[in-house]
C-alpha cells in the first residue's frame, strides 16, 4: 500500500542556489528586504526576518544583486509562507521563508531571468 503522507514533487523547473547575497523587495509602501534562497524559471524562495508581513498585498517584487543587476516588477504569487530555523544556533532572530511562483513574465523579464540564472546561480538546489 502506498504511503499517502508523502508529498508529490510539483516543481516543473530546476531550482538553483545563490552563492551571493541577492535580495528581493516587494513593491509596497513599506518594503522589507528578503534574501533569495533559491530560484528557478517558475519561482523562488526567500527568507526574511519575522518582524512584519513581508509580502503584504504586493503582487510584484524587484530583485537586486549589488549594483550589478536589477529585475523590476516581477509578477509573483505567494504559494507558502512558514517559520524556519535560524542558521545561527544562538540567534534569537526568528526567520520565515516565503515560496513564490512567478506570474506571466514579458519577453524582457524572461530574458533577464535566464541571464540571472546563468550568471548568479551555483548548481541545483
Place 71 in a pLDDT band, splitting at 50, 70 and 90: very high
- Which range of residues forms the domain containing residue 77? 16-120
3 located within any domain = no
| Range 110-113 contact pairs with CB under 8 angstroms and sequence separation of 24 or more | 112/71, 113/41, 113/71
Q: What percent of the chain has pLDDT over 70?
A: 86
Q: pTM above 0.85?
A: no
Cα 96 from Cα 55, distance rounded (Å): 11
Within-domain flag for 6: no
Separation CA 77–CA 104 (nearest Å): 11
User: What Å distances lie between residue 106 and 85, 98, 124, CA to CA?
Assistant: 36, 23, 25
Whether 58 maps to a domain, the answer reads yes
Q: Is 5 part of any domain?
A: no
Instruction: Reply yes or no on whether the pLDDT at 116 is more than 60.
Output: yes
Instruction: Tell me the per-residue pLDDT of 3-33, one tens digit each, with 9 for 90 and over.
Output: 444 444 555 779 999 888 899 999 999 889 9
What CATH number does residue 96 fall under? Answer: 2.40.10.220
* Section 96-111 average pLDDT: 96
Task: Look at residues 67, 63, 66 and name the one whose alpha carbon lies nearest to residue 113.
Answer: 63
* Domain assignment present for 39: yes
Instruction: Report residue 48 as a C-alpha cell.
Output: 526574511
Residue 93 lies in a domain: yes
For residue 9, being part of any structural domain is answered with: no
What are the pLDDT digits (tens) for 44-53? 999 999 888 8
Amino acid at each position: 500500500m502506498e504511503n499517502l503522507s508523502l508529498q508529490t514533487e510539483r516543481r516543473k523547473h530546476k531550482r538553483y542556489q545563490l552563492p551571493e547575497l541577492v535580495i528581493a523587495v516587494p513593491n509596497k509602501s513599506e518594503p522589507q528586504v528578503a534574501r533569495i534562497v533559491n530560484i528557478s524559471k517558475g519561482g523562488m524562495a526567500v527568507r526574511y526576518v519575522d518582524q512584519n508581513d513581508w509580502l503584504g498585498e504586493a503582487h510584484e517584487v524587484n530583485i537586486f544583486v549589488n549594483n550589478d543587476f536589477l529585475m523590476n516588477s516581477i509578477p509573483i504569487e505567494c504559494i507558502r509562507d512558514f517559520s524556519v530555523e535560524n542558521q545561527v544556533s544562538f540567534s534569537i532572530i526568528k526567520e520565515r521563508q516565503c515560496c513564490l511562483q512567478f506570474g506571466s513574465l514579458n519577453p524582457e523579464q524572461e530574458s533577464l531571468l535566464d541571464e540571472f540564472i546563468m550568471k548568479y546561480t551555483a548548481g541545483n538546489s
